[in-house]
């Protein structure tokens, strides 16, 4: 029996439909959460935002914190060492992200769809934001900073910033290196 084959025209057509625009304006961000050799490890809370030159928030892009857990059945006892099952989820500890909290985090009513997310494990995490799409508004031309802040229970706090211009002059990756709670942070500004 002969297997059906798609013609090259059909393949090109389907590839064009699925690929979408290749050069849409936006930000591609990669954040590394490093492996730490500590006795008690907790995943860090992380906030990512864009700041204007006057240090005001141009856009909150992402915030990772402990999400509210599903209620356990009444008969089941919590596992040993499990965090408390309070109603606030992890929002109680968001002020530990000091710079983000002071610059605008406290004004948000969390969770925010498309912004809030659970803490992330050790490794590299990619975020992509398109210009004019939530949560990245249409930014006017100017100088900005990508801000990434991390805070960890029983750990430290760290803030990494990457200055950039909008619209992009080139698609070269901009990089910064954390020293403790964050590893490598990179930004590609697409025009």
Say which residue the tokens 């499990």 belong to. 82
Whether 10 is covered by a domain: the verdict is no
Domain range for 50 is 43-68+88-190
146-170 confidence digits (pLDDT tens): 999 999 988 899 999 999 999 887 7
Residue 47 domain-assigned (yes or no): yes
Overall pTM surpassing 0.85 (yes/no): no
Q: What is the DSSP letter of 125?
A: E
Question: What are the distances in angstroms from CA 146 to CA 9, 16, 38, 44, 85?
Answer: 42, 32, 29, 18, 34
143 in a structural domain: yes
> What are the residue ranges in the chain where pLDDT is below 50?
1-22, 72-87
Give the number of domains in the chain: 1
Q: Would you say residue 4 lies in a domain?
A: no
| C-alpha torsion sign, points 117, 118, 122, 123 | negative
Among 137, 157, 130, 139, residue whose Cα is nearest residue 44: 157
Phi, psi torsion values for 36, nearest 5 degrees: -110, 140
Which tokens in the block code for residue 172?
């070269």
pLDDT attached to residue 78 = 44
């Amino acid at each position: 029996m002969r297997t059906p084959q798609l013609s090259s025209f059909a393949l090109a057509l389907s590839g064009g439909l699925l690929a979408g625009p290749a050069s849409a304006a936006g930000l591609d961000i990669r954040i590394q959460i490093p492996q730490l050799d500590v006795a008690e490890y907790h995943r860090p809370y992380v906030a990512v935002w864009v700041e204007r030159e006057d240090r005001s928030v141009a856009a909150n892009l992402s915030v990772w914190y402990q999400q509210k857990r599903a209620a356990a059945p009444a008969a089941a006892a919590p596992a040993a060492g499990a965090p408390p099952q309070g109603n606030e989820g992890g929002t109680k500890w968001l002020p530990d992200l000091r710079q983000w909290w002071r610059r605008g985090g406290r004004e948000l009513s969390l969770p925010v769809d498309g912004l809030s997310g659970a803490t992330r494990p050790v490794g590299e995490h990619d975020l992509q934001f398109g210009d004019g799409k939530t949560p990245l508004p249409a930014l006017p031309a100017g100088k900005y900073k990508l801000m990434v802040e991390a805070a960890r229970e029983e750990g430290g706090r760290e803030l990494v910033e990457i200055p950039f211009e909008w619209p992009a002059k080139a698609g070269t990756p901009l990089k910064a290196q954390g020293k403790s709670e964050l590893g490598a942070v990179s930004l590609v500004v697409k025009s």
